[in-house]
Amino acid sequence: MIDPRTASGLRDLGPSVAVPRERLTTTFRAVFASFGFTPIETPHIERMDVLTGKGAGSDEVLRQIFEVVNKGGERGELALRFDLTVPLARFISKHIDELGVPFKRYAIGSVFRGERPAKGRFREFVQCDFDILGTESAFADAETAHVIHDSLAAAGIPEFTISINNRKILDGFLESIAAGGRSAAVLRSLDKLAKIGSEGVRDELTGRRRRKEIDSADDSADEQAAKPRIDDLTSDKNEQAFTESRSELAEEPPLNLDQADRLLDFVEAGKGRYDALDYLAAIVKDFPTAVAGIENLRTILNLLDSVGVPERRVRVDSALARGLDYYTGVVFETTVNGWERFGSVSSGGRYDNLAGLFTSRRIPGVGASIGLDRLTALMDEAGLLKHQANAGGVLVVQFPGVDARVSASIAARLRRIGIAAEVYPDPIAMGKQLGYGSARGRAFAVIVGPDEAAKGTFNLRDLGTRKERRDLPLDRLEDEAIAAIGVTK
Amino acid sequence: MIDPRTASGLRDLGPSVAVPRERLTTTFRAVFASFGFTPIETPHIERMDVLTGKGAGSDEVLRQIFEVVNKGGERGELALRFDLTVPLARFISKHIDELGVPFKRYAIGSVFRGERPAKGRFREFVQCDFDILGTESAFADAETAHVIHDSLAAAGIPEFTISINNRKILDGFLESIAAGGRSAAVLRSLDKLAKIGSEGVRDELTGRRRRKEIDSADDSADEQAAKPRIDDLTSDKNEQAFTESRSELAEEPPLNLDQADRLLDFVEAGKGRYDALDYLAAIVKDFPTAVAGIENLRTILNLLDSVGVPERRVRVDSALARGLDYYTGVVFETTVNGWERFGSVSSGGRYDNLAGLFTSRRIPGVGASIGLDRLTALMDEAGLLKHQANAGGVLVVQFPGVDARVSASIAARLRRIGIAAEVYPDPIAMGKQLGYGSARGRAFAVIVGPDEAAKGTFNLRDLGTRKERRDLPLDRLEDEAIAAIGVTK
């Protein structure tokens, strides 16, 4: 006998999870399509050089890649995708002439990372990505937040907060305090604000605390919901910047104490909505880069207000650092109110040049990703999945001695009017059949006994209350089932 | 620059294919669910020993397996699934106690086989599987055909034929001609009937033609739509049978000339419906195995008739051999009328003991698989995909000089009443925006010029006829859009 377990870090999803997951992806597809996004599909297997760039991928990612080897093939040629953004970059580079821009695509699929197995961390997880390629308009930035909003609202998340920031604001602010060019190091520290507090960030930025101690406390749990660090992963330029920021730190701290204090005041006060933007604008008004970043966020707030996204759900957060090191404009993170410890369930942002590895054409874009596994885990723990897993519909019982065709044809009629109808496959004891129906989450049972079959009447039993409406002729049965189950067809 | 091509044998699917594929899978999910099937998900990566059994997998399959290697890991531990049935067997063995039987699951997902790349043959393809586990009832057999039928009908396939056969009929017939136990060899030859004709089959069965010559002409194009040969792939017993049938052939031909002629007459005449069953029954009436097989098919026809499946779509075909060597009861194959050269688009059957590799519990089952890639390719060539790829909905134009919030809020209103509404992200020349809308398959454009925005009126332009309804106030616009696009909400 072979042990029927999954491989390490992988898992089976039974109906209680798979049913609500499927409803979620159906919901997301519908929302994405309603905004004009169309689906594309790319293979799960990519060429290794596509995924790792010109030998430039970071150690972290290369360590996590699952190689794929064809029988008789060599190692190092193929691998499983670790996100949907690198494949998108490859796809658009190859197909841009036939597709044209703007191009709005969504993709929902599994990605693979060989992370150390841990609770809530899986080696295969599903990302729901949508991106608008070929435009630099703030309209597209706002639409990205709008799609995040409508997707989570449609998924039944009661309250959530989309935090927005723009890399240009921090860049301009650092110029204003004579610390231009230190963004990479500053971002790395700011990213830990929630974890180590402003004291810790100040100590780290000013060299009073060694980065390494703090890094070791860091974990990358947020990776699975965050948009991939595409530039960080694959571009020479950013790999270089990453290395530089490391060595820079080793040599001298990025900020002095005064600069660090001003930075922390700036990001602390830069939270809210238009008020926060006004505050930030007053400080950096002479630095055009920062002003442009602030105006971008103002336009986004304006547009989201105009389409009825509730104010409370979109907030400027100038301390939001994650992603700023690889996105080039706006960034998004989304937390569910009261469940912030789960991290961001949808993240994204704008990139100037998505496909620089594959084409000399500059393709700007903006997009976000919903982390299905994290969202499902959160909804499960928040009790938001329970009723969704309920199958509904009816069980049609097979009564011993009654021709199976009676049950089969009733079920077929019910299906035709839009009611899911399952027939128990064997005419076993009725109690067992009803127990099966309850266990499977059916709402009602249609009971056909020999007398009923002869008279052409049926009983409709509520599997919750166990009440029965008896002796219904077929038309009445249909009407009652429609009324009880609430089919709109 | 890195070449943005896919790896060999893999492909990108752009919107023109991905949109109708997504509609098909949505349709299949709805049909499966209406019969009481629930989804499960298993990982794309499985342990190698799960996929290959105890070192017993056939050479063919082992050659096609994609190994997966974690960085720093060893080869031979992990692989990509090559079908959804082996994972189902593993899944049910592990979870049967919590899930109970009967258990009806569906699964739609990518599977991977390193076949030699060729036209229409891909190394990643999608199977849509549904199975009923834990029952031996003919009711479940009939339901499997019923689900195939309703799925293809709902997919918009005009006419198709579900062929059914039952392994027991041939087994019993071979007994009746004193050739019991030769089933494996006979099936291998019968499977080639369409390709080499009855002369060829006769020659092969009687040793007048060497099997090898014929085998070399064989190809496995049908594999991608057929249900996996699970027993053939993974069980010691069948691997042994396979080897035996090979060696048996090398030594002596399975049938003599008289036996071969009687076999060919039998399978030739055993095609049709009840008439064919009556014919077969008369010949094998003294052989209970064959009689049971015939009665199974009779029950299936009866049940399918009772639920309104048109007679012309279900036919007994006693020459149907594919799958009989690994299924243990009924088998199904489905061809689209006029497109038989594409092979079977949905195949399946009954197995006595699905999970014998993983558990000592005997778990019988019946199910089938729809080959999404083959079906899509067929529908594409038959012109059945065209209108399905049409995105519909409206493009809302951004007029230069008009506040973007006007377009954004109109689009949001239209979405709320169920109309897909895309706003062009930049206020460029209107002709270009309209061209984009047409290219993307939008049915209408909503045009907002500066005058219209001031007056609060809009034009609705049919992107096909170029006719415009002008100066519509917002309420009228909604009504007209609903009427034109046919939203039922």
Instruction: Please tell me whether residues A126 and A96 are part of one structural domain.
Output: yes
Closest CA in chain A for residue B146: A412
Residue B425 CB contacts under 8 Å (≥ 6 apart), including other chains? A102, A132, A135, A137, A139, A140, A143, B398
- B59 pLDDT above the threshold of 70: no
The pTM score is 0.90
Tell me the per-residue pLDDT of B433-473, one tens digit each, with 9 for 90 and over: 999 999 999 999 999 888 888 898 999 999 999 999 999 99
Give the pLDDT mean for B275-284: 96
Phi, psi of B27 (to 5 degrees): -60, -45
A306 → closest Cβ in B10, B39, B408: B408
Instruction: Please tell me whether residues B363 and B400 are part of one structural domain.
Output: no
Radius of gyration of chain A (CA): 28
Domains held by chain B: number = 2
Tell if the CB–CB gap between A50 and B4 is shorter than 8 Å. yes
- A332 pLDDT above the threshold of 80: yes
- What's the CA gap between B331 and B170, in Å, rounded? 12
> What domain range is B261 assigned to?
15-386
Return the C-alpha torsion angle B50, B51, B52, B58, nearest 10. Answer: 150
The answer to which of A323-327, A397-401, B28-32 has the lowest mean pLDDT is A323-327
- B219 pLDDT above the threshold of 60: no
How would you label A10-23 residue by residue, b for 16+ Cβ within 10 Å and e otherwise?
bbbbbbbbbbbbbe
Closest CA in chain A for residue B426: A137
- A6 pLDDT above the threshold of 80: yes
Is residue A4 assigned to a domain? no
Instruction: Please tell me whether residues A361 and A400 are part of one structural domain.
Output: no
Give the pLDDT mean for B78-89: 95
Any idea what the CATH number is for the domain that residue A401 is in? 3.40.50.800
Tell me the nearest-neighbour CA distance from A85 into chain B, angstroms: 13
Tell me the per-residue pLDDT of B113-156, one tens digit each, with 9 for 90 and over: 998 877 778 999 999 999 999 999 999 999 999 999 999 999 99
Angstrom distances, CA of residue A139 to CA of A5, A296, B253, B427 = 48, 9, 75, 10
Instruction: Please tell me whether residues A348 and A430 are part of one structural domain.
Output: no
Tell me the nearest-neighbour CA distance from A177 into chain B, angstroms: 35
Is residue B117 assigned to a domain? yes
- B229 pLDDT above the threshold of 80: no
Give the pLDDT mean for A67-94: 92
Tell me the nearest-neighbour CA distance from A304 into chain B, angstroms: 9
Tell me the nearest-neighbour CA distance from A415 into chain B, angstroms: 6
Give the pLDDT mean for A181-197: 90
- What's the CA gap between A430 and A461, in Å, rounded? 12
Is residue A1 assigned to a domain? no
Residue B211's pLDDT is: 55
Tell me the nearest-neighbour CA distance from B252 into chain A, angstroms: 35
Tell me the nearest-neighbour CA distance from B140 into chain A, angstroms: 6
Tell if the CB–CB gap between B13 and A124 is shorter than 8 Å. no
- What's the CA gap between A9 and A1, in Å, rounded? 22
- B489 pLDDT above the threshold of 80: no
Closest to A68 (Cα-Cα) out of A49, A54, A48: A48
Is residue B323 assigned to a domain? yes
User: Where among B386, B407, B426 does a domain terminate?
Assistant: B386
Is residue B3 assigned to a domain? no
Instruction: Please tell me whether residues B295 and B329 are part of one structural domain.
Output: yes
Between residues B489 and B368, the one the model is more confident about = B368
- A478 pLDDT above the threshold of 50: yes
Q: Classify strands B124-133 and B365-371 as parallel, antiparallel or unpaired.
A: antiparallel
- What's the CA gap between A82 and B466, in Å, rounded? 45
Mean pLDDT of the residues in chain A: 88
- B387 pLDDT above the threshold of 70: no
Residue B389's pLDDT is: 57
Tell me the per-residue pLDDT of A379-395, one tens digit each, with 9 for 90 and over: 999 999 876 656 689 99
Tell me the per-residue pLDDT of B156-213, one tens digit each, with 9 for 90 and over: 999 999 999 999 999 999 999 999 989 888 998 998 998 899 999 999 999 887 655 5
Instruction: Please tell me whether residues A382 and A398 are part of one structural domain.
Output: no
Give the pLDDT mean for A137-160: 97
Angstrom distances, CA of residue A226 to CA of A4, A48, B382, B386 = 32, 22, 42, 36
Name every chain A residue with its beta carbon within 8 A of the beta carbon of B411.
Answer: 307
Residue A230's pLDDT is: 36
Residue B487's pLDDT is: 67
Query: Which position has the token pair 């599909």?
Result: A41
Mean pLDDT of the residues in chain B: 88
Q: What percentage of chain A reaches a pLDDT higher than 90?
A: 73
User: Where among B370, B386, B402 does a domain terminate?
Assistant: B386
Residue B130's pLDDT is: 98
Residue B482's pLDDT is: 87
Size of interface A-B (CB pairs under 8 A): 319
Is A364 within 8 Å of A134 (Cβ atoms)?
yes
Give the pLDDT mean for A246-257: 70
ipTM of the complex, rounded to two decimals: 0.90
Between residues B223 and A68, the one the model is more confident about = A68
Residue A128's pLDDT is: 98
- What's the CA gap between A472 and B230, in Å, rounded? 46
Tell me the per-residue pLDDT of A334-386, one tens digit each, with 9 for 90 and over: 999 999 999 999 999 999 888 999 999 999 999 999 999 999 999 999 999 87
Instruction: Please tell me whether residues A237 and A286 are part of one structural domain.
Output: yes
Is residue B4 assigned to a domain? no
Name every chain A residue with its beta carbon within 8 A of the beta carbon of B442.
Answer: 36
Residue A487's pLDDT is: 67
pLDDT band with cut points at 50, 70 and 90 for residue B307: very high
- What's the CA gap between A15 and A13, in Å, rounded? 7
Residue B76's pLDDT is: 87
Interface probe, candidates A3, A16, A38, chain B, greatest B C-beta count within 10 A: A38
A423 → closest Cβ in B114, B139, B405: B139
| String of DSSP letters for B135-183 | ---HHHHHHHHHHHHHHHHHTT---EEEEEEEHHHHHHHHHHTT-TT-H
Name every chain B residue with its beta carbon within 8 A of the beta carbon of A437.
Answer: none
Any idea what the CATH number is for the domain that residue A318 is in? 3.30.930.10
Residue A211's pLDDT is: 55
Name every chain A residue with its beta carbon within 8 A of the beta carbon of B91.
Answer: 4, 12
Name every chain A residue with its beta carbon within 8 A of the beta carbon of B355.
Answer: 4
User: Where among A352, A386, A420 does a domain terminate?
Assistant: A386
- A216 pLDDT above the threshold of 80: no
pLDDT band with cut points at 50, 70 and 90 for residue A54: low
Tell if the CB–CB gap between A102 and B66 is shorter than 8 Å. no
Tell if the CB–CB gap between A1 and B358 is shorter than 8 Å. yes
- What's the CA gap between B211 and A392, in Å, rounded? 54
Residue A244's pLDDT is: 40
Interface probe, candidates B24, B26, B68, B74, chain A, greatest A C-beta count within 10 A: B68
Instruction: Please tell me whether residues B122 and B162 are part of one structural domain.
Output: yes
- What's the CA gap between A131 and A103, in Å, rounded? 8
pLDDT band with cut points at 50, 70 and 90 for residue A119: confident
Tokens read off for B346: 């949905």
Between residues A216 and A424, the one the model is more confident about = A424
Instruction: Please tell me whether residues A401 and A355 are part of one structural domain.
Output: no
Tell if the CB–CB gap between A306 and B409 is shorter than 8 Å. yes
Instruction: Please tell me whether residues B106 and B41 are part of one structural domain.
Output: yes
Name every chain A residue with its beta carbon within 8 A of the beta carbon of B99.
Answer: 14-15
Residue type, A12: D
Name every chain B residue with its beta carbon within 8 A of the beta carbon of A10.
Answer: 43, 45
Between residues A449 and A162, the one the model is more confident about = A162
Is residue B421 assigned to a domain? yes
Is residue A267 assigned to a domain? yes
- What's the CA gap between B243 and A489, in Å, rounded? 56
B68 → closest Cβ in A68, A91, A302: A68
Instruction: Please tell me whether residues A363 and A400 are part of one structural domain.
Output: no
For residue A333, the tally of other CB atoms under 10 A from its CB is 27
Name every chain A residue with its beta carbon within 8 A of the beta carbon of B41.
Answer: 12-13, 17-18, 21
The answer to which of A38-47, A278-287, A428-437, B249-258 has the lowest mean pLDDT is B249-258
- What's the CA gap between B161 and B139, in Å, rounded? 20
Closest CA in chain B for residue A29: B22
Residue B390's pLDDT is: 61
Instruction: Please tell me whether residues B377 and B395 are part of one structural domain.
Output: no
